[in-house]
Amino acid sequence: MSKNRDLYRRIMAMESRHFNMCFYCGCIATEYDFVPPFKLTDFYIRTGEEADFYEVPACNECHTILKEDKSGLLGQRVDFVKSKLAKKYEKALRVYHLWHHDELESFDHNFQKSLNAGIELGTETYERIKFRGFEFEVDGQKRHSNFVEEVKLTVFGEPFDHFRDALDYASKSYRVPKAKLKDLFAKHQNSFDKAITAFQKEFEEKQLEKKCREFAKAHKQNPNFVIRTVKLFLKMEESFTVEKALEKIYNTYIAPEAQIQQTLTKGNSMTVKYSDLESAFDFVSFGSYSDNEAYLSIKTGKIYWVSDNIDEEDEPLPDDLYQSDEYIQIPNKHDLDLGKKLVFDFVHQFLASDFETVSQYFRKQGAYGRFKLLLERREKLDEWYKFEEQENKKTLLEWAKESGVTVTE
């Protein structure tokens, strides 16, 4: 026993400020930790397993924790004690990392008190875990201890000594909630840069989905189709933004469909000016029965005049004028029963006593000429023109309505 005891050499701090200090955590040392554990000395000797055989000043807590550790090297025992402390004070560390005293003012008194205590304990624990030991000598020989790696914390190049400060800075600068950032930090190899990038990517993904869903709703599209297609466009075209991709979806899939729908709804409801319709009607009603024709395009509202007397070069006609459903023929006054019938309607109303005479006219050729002369004699010519115009209009408008053509003044 005493023989084994002689194997151990006490380590001595080089600087006076480290005297009586726990080598593991920097607290006041009250015990000595045996490296390797004293009860395992025989095992280490027998097996030749590497061991330091140091007597290391330790605080009560580290000493107690290290009773569970069987390692024989100081570095291994440092790692063990740090990981145990981190685990034991996990909650306090979390409170310390996420909260500042001045953020607690709005809380209920008791909750404030417990959070403040957590922050205190967390601060102390963080310092203990970060503690890097000290330089010491053994048997008059100086040893260099480098067991605790100095963690270089940076947030996109900005250096920090304390995790809490780095977290605070990163959270504020990159708008990531602290708790979320802390989790991502651990998940991404303890790198703030990777954690922030991951968060931004996740955020962008969510924004993308949100925008796609809104777009899908507004344009009655399947949201999954929109999300999938936007992602595809973004992959294909690096300079694309989500907005640009949505615009492309609109132009590629939605606008053409909407245009067809619009044409279908409008369909035959192309508008045409009454004066144009009237001119065309006069044109086809003028002269002998079927010399003149006129056609209305239900797509453009344009009226094409067809006559042997019109030079086609001035007014080219569509090639499919007689085949396509796009063109409807403008009726003449006979088609609309506005010839003889109109005359008799007028006579019935305004020249009742001449009814027999007019009937005679219409049994022979040149009836309209003689009817006009009669109107002149009776001073009813103006009234006739007015009547004729009104009746034509009434009938033409009815025809237009039946043909699905909207007429404007």
List interacting residues with Zn ion (CB under 5 A).
Answer: 22, 24-25, 27, 59, 62
Q: Tell me if 16 sits within 8 A of 44, measured CB to CB.
A: no
- DSSP alpha helix (H) spans, 89-191: 90-98, 109-130, 163-174, 178-187
Q: Pick from 155, 66, 85: which is nearest to 127 by CA?
A: 85
Nearer to Zn ion, 78 or 181 (CB): 78
Helix (H, G, I), strand (E, B) or coil at 108: coil
The residue among 133 and 331 lying less far from Zn ion, judged by its C-beta, is: 133
Output the smallest distance, CB 21 to Zn ion, in A: 9
Tell the smallest beta-carbon distance from residue 232 to Zn ion (Å).
58
Q: Quick one: 131 or 371, whose CB is closer to Zn ion?
A: 131
Residue 28 or 218: the one with the smaller Cβ distance to Zn ion is 28
Query: 284, 330 in Cβ contact below 8 A?
Result: yes
> Cis peptide before 36, with omega less than 30 degrees from 0?
yes
Q: How many angstroms separate the CA atoms of 229 and 227, rounded? A: 6
Could you tell me the smallest distance in angstroms from the CB atom of residue 107 to Zn ion? 32
Instruction: Please state the closest distance from residue 25 (CB atom) to Zn ion, in A.
Output: 3
How distant is the alpha carbon of residue 233 from its chain centre? Answer: 13
Cα separation, 193 vs 156, in Å, equals: 6
* For Zn ion, the closer CB: 121 or 381: 121
Smallest gap from Cβ 176 to Zn ion, in A, equals: 34
Helix, strand, coil proportions of the chain in percent (round to 5)? 55, 10, 35
How far is CA 187 from its chain centroid?
A: 27
- Closer to Zn ion at the Cβ: 68 or 165? 68
SS3 36: coil
* Distance between first and last Cα of the chain: 121
Q: Which residue lies nearer to Zn ion by CB, 21 or 294? A: 21
- The residue (of 136 and 399) whose beta carbon lies closer to Zn ion is 136
Cα–Cα distance for residue pair 36/54, rounded to 1 Å: 8
Q: Which amino acid is at 367?
A: A
Q: Measured from the CB of residue 82, what is the shortest distance to Zn ion in angstroms?
A: 10
Shortest Cβ 58–Zn ion spacing (Å): 5
Question: CB of residue 22 vs Zn ion: minimum separation in angstroms?
Answer: 3
Range list of H helices, 267-354: 274-285, 340-350
The nearer residue to Zn ion, 25 or 212, going by C-beta atoms, is 25
Q: How far is the CB of 73 from Zn ion (least distance, A)?
A: 18
Q: What's the sign of the alpha-carbon dihedral 40, 42, 47, 53?
A: positive
- The rounded distance, in Å, linking the Cα atoms of 12 and 55 is 9
Residues in Cβ contact with 43 at an 8 Å cutoff, skipping those fewer than 6 apart: 49
